[in-house]
């Protein structure tokens, strides 16, 4: 068996942050915005599966609808169908990056006693605070024991998918949220090298603008994309420890470096496409692919999007100031209490944690396996580098993707950023962020 040593140091800090922040903020499963409809479709590019009335079913709920997301999910469905040909998979997807729409639909269904058989949920606060503490999930000790999962995932990951010693979901991947993606052809034509610092970013942005190219593609139709950008600027400004301290109370949200991060974010927004509020993350990435824009700062699902769209000029570096820091999140699946097709769901959970499933899913999804025995398939150059970085970088929890803070706190921060993007008032935004942290702390 492979040694876990390589991930320990980074993950220990990561877990400590999560646990401390967990003590600070436990979000109630409260009134969620009521979604208009429950959407059941096949992901884009794949036919919706036919539901056989007589056979057994398995409803899998996620927000994976874009090219690489759908391709990865469909590949795992293929493995499941091979093993369980009598089961019809219902692919219950609700489009919207980072679960911006799906989470509200899920909440309504769960509270209404209509859970899917299994659903996508981020490792960390999103899983534990929202669903486990609310006693909506079944523990998965038996699946873990049966499948050897208790030694297949890094201890840090096991800690974060567990509550009071019991695991509650199975991780399919590890994603990195702090990457700057750029069009290598556009940069070559302009004689530019990708930026590593904020100063270089602004120099490159000016040069691109002078050529009539949008420097920074942004798609914040869901305000999580603002949070995603902002968290990379926080990391690049405060460093890994300072950023982690924001979630444990060790770094104050009134710190001058947070002011600086807001100023930098404001300056960056001035280089974004004017229609950013109308676009999704993948539509923003399309601007980079077409060469209308030079860069986008986004998680590594962009790698999968570029692969699915056969984009030959995909380039990447870490977001400015983020070198050596892995801003981590993980997609997991769990078993809600009251699942109608419980055994079929358990079989899904028994499949998705295996090295075979992870090596099928992740190269298409733009993520790296969570299972330490996987990683032997053909991965893109980006993903090979990410696997290396996961072993050596400082690991910090993502804000926008459920790892760093409770959903209530994340929503409060996103609301602040939505106003900030329009008003660009640094003082007001920082005051609101301080209040959001105080509210979250009140749950301590």
Contact positions vs ligand GAL (CB under 6 A): 63-64, 69, 97-99, 175, 299, 301, 329, 331, 401
Contact 342, 87 (CB under 8 A): no
Q: Is 62 exposed, middle or buried (0-12, 13-18, 19+ CB in 10 A)?
A: buried
Alpha carbons 360 and 344: distance in angstroms, whole number: 20
Q: Is 47 exposed, middle or buried (0-12, 13-18, 19+ CB in 10 A)?
A: exposed
With b meaning 16 or more CB within 10 Å and e meaning fewer, what string describes 88-127?
Answer: bbbbbbbbbbbbbbbbbbbbebbeeeebbbbbbbbbbbbb
Contact 61, 92 (CB under 8 A): yes
Contact 320, 180 (CB under 8 A): yes
Residue 129 per-residue DSSP state:
I
Rg of the chain, C-alpha, whole Å:
21
Alpha carbons 226 and 304: distance in angstroms, whole number: 21
Minimal distance in Å, beta carbon 303 to ligand GAL?
11
Alpha carbons 116 and 61: distance in angstroms, whole number: 6
Minimal distance in Å, beta carbon 3 to ligand GAL?
27
Q: Is 366 exposed, middle or buried (0-12, 13-18, 19+ CB in 10 A)?
A: buried
Considering beta carbons, is residue 107 or 175 the nearer one to ligand GAL? Answer: 175
Cross-strand partners of 296: 181
Contact 309, 202 (CB under 8 A): no
Minimal distance in Å, beta carbon 97 to ligand GAL?
4
Alpha carbons 318 and 326: distance in angstroms, whole number: 9
Q: Helix, strand or coil for residue 65?
A: coil
Considering beta carbons, is residue 160 or 258 the nearer one to ligand GAL? Answer: 160
Minimal distance in Å, beta carbon 98 to ligand GAL?
4
The token pair that represents 92 in the structure block: 């219950």
Q: Is 37 exposed, middle or buried (0-12, 13-18, 19+ CB in 10 A)?
A: exposed
Phi-psi region of 375 (alpha: psi -120 to 50; beta: other; left: phi over 0): left
Alpha carbons 418 and 121: distance in angstroms, whole number: 24
Considering beta carbons, is residue 97 or 315 the nearer one to ligand GAL? Answer: 97
């Amino acid at each position: 068996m492979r040694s876990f040593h390589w991930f320990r140091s980074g993950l220990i800090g990561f877990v400590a942050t999560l646990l401390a922040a967990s003590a600070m903020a436990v979000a109630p499963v409260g009134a969620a915005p009521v979604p208009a409809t429950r959407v059941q479709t096949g992901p884009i590019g794949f036919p919706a599966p036919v539901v056989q009335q007589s056979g057994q079913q398995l409803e899998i709920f996620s927000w994976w609808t874009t090219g690489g997301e759908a391709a990865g999910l469909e590949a795992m469905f293929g493995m499941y169908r091979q093993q369980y040909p009598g089961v019809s998979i219902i692919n219950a997807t609700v489009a919207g990056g980072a679960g911006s729409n799906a989470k509200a639909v899920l909440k309504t269904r769960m509270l209404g006693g209509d859970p899917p058989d299994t659903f996508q949920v981020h490792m960390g606060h999103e899983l534990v605070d929202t669903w486990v503490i609310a006693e909506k999930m079944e523990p998965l000790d038996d699946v873990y024991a049966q499948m050897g999962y208790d030694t297949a995932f890094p201890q840090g990951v096991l800690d974060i998918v567990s509550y009071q010693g019991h695991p509650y979901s199975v991780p399919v991947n590890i994603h990195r949220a702090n990457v700057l993606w750029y069009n290598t052809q556009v940069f070559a034509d302009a004689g530019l090298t990708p930026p590593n610092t904020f100063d270089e970013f602004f120099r490159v942005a000016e040069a691109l603008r002078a050529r009539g190219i949008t420097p920074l593609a942004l798609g914040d139709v869901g305000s999580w994309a603002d949070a995603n950008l902002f968290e990379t600027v926080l990391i690049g400004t405060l460093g890994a420890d300072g950023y982690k301290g924001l979630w444990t109370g060790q770094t104050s949200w009134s710190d001058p470096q947070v002011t600086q991060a807001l100023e930098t974010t404001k300056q960056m927004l001035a280089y974004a496409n004017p229609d950013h509020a109308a676009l999704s993350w993948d539509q923003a990435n399309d601007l980079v692919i077409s060469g209308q824009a030079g860069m986008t700062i986004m998680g590594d699902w962009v790698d999968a999007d570029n692969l699915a769209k056969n984009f030959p000029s995909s380039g990447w570096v870490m977001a400015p100031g983020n070198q050596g820091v892995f801003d981590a999140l993980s997609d997991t699946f769990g078993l809600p209490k009251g699942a109608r097709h419980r055994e079929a769901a358990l079989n899904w959970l028994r499949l998705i944690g295996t090295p075979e499933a992870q090596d099928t899913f992740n190269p298409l999804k733009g993520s790296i396996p969570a299972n330490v025995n996987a990683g032997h398939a053909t991965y893109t150059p980006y993903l090979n580098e990410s696997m290396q970085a996961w072993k050596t970088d400082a690991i910090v929890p993502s804000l926008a993707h459920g790892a760093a803070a409770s959903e209530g706190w994340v929503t409060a921060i996103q609301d602040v950023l939505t106003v900030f993007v329009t008003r660009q008032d640094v003082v007001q935004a920082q005051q609101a962020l301080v209040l959001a942290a105080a509210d979250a702390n009140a749950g301590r």
